[in-house]
Amino acid sequence: MIRVLIVDDSPVIREVISQILQKDPEISVIGAIGNGEDGVKAAVEMSPDLITMDINLPGINGLEATRRIMNLKPVPIIIVSSTVDNYNISTSFQAIEAGALAVMRTPPGLLNPTFENYVQELINTVKLYSEIKVVKRRFIKYNVSSPVAEPYSTTDVKMMDVEIVVIGASTGGPPVVATILTILGPNLSVPVLITQHMSPGFITGYAEWLSNSSSVCVRVPEDNEVLIPGIVYVAPDNVHMGVKEKGRIHLSNEDPIKSLRPSVGYLFRTVAETYGKKALAVILTGMGDDGASEMGLIRKKGGITIAQDAESSIVNGMPGSAISLGSVKYILPPELIAEKVKSLLEKKVKFN
């Protein structure tokens, strides 16, 4: 039985979330709290398997409550927030930075045509994230002795003509992406394309948060948009993002791949076909294996492939799958991923 604590200032929302979750016989709602201080207290005393957390709370808000819980007694937290309020969206991503695993929109009305889809999304998210083991310190500094799939070598000299960087991420990805972009900085010599699995309605806010936290220009592109060096492009909601020809974004309404749209695999496959050895691909923390085999296409073409290491990954599904398939050249923590990408783009090679 998955024991869930609900923290939300709205009695109506608390009741709706409770009814949704208790539709599933494997989920039990052990408490529904209306303010941040009591939410923190309940989290410590009741030891839930997962918490749904509102942002707007009387007393301390959801961000501060998340910080305190992650410091006192870490537990998987899902932020349940409105997508129409810029403050809520910004604060939601700060809560992810503080340790929350994901952000979801508040439940739509019972008569809304998307309600049943939301029910299944919330139940599935709670089941998946309740199994994740979270810790107080989620990211630490790593030294250069971190494991690599293949040592730095002189072969890098022949591989440094990178024209595009692509990144795939899912659970736990937002703060890792922010870390990487911050280290890369605003003066990138190539465009960067990111597919991040995320609940619908938050991608625009995610792009804005990344821009603000990293000082890099991040945007959600339109179809056929010309790629500009130094700009980071994040896949929009519910469409695949890739490239059809060098230098242009392609957005596709093709069927979901492994139930996902946008798909990391679609991005990696189209980039492998278009850029080949001039591509650099990074696969980050996330559930499942989206992008794992397609990353192998980039490596076979002679491109550079990097996976986040298991130690720093919230979920080692996507990077672990890519590694097991032989799709990965380097296995590194976030800070060293950024430094490696930066050194390649600046044509600086490290040797053992």
Active site residue 153: no
Rg (CA), the chain: 20
Q: How far apart are CA 319 and CA 325, in angstroms?
A: 10
Q: How far apart are CA 296 and CA 305, in angstroms?
A: 8
Residue in 8, 197, 213, 240 annotated catalytic: 197
Of 37, 38, 36, the closest CA to residue 57 belongs to 36
Catalytic residue among 49, 156, 290, 309: 290
Between CA 294 and CA 299 the distance in angstroms is: 9
Q: How many CB atoms neighbour CB 22 within 10 A?
A: 13
DSSP annotation of 236 reads: P
Provide the CB-side half-sphere exposure for 347 (13 A, CA).
5
Which residue in this structure is represented by tokens 């790629």? Answer: 227
Q: How many C-beta atoms lie closer than 10 Å to residue 215's C-beta?
A: 11
* Catalytic residue selected from 170, 199, 213, 214: 170
User: Is there a catalytic annotation at residue 47?
Assistant: no
The rounded distance, in Å, linking the Cα atoms of 81 and 199 is 11
Residue 197: active-site member: yes
Q: Which two tokens stand for residue 153?
A: 């070598």
Which residues are identified as catalytic? 170, 197, 290
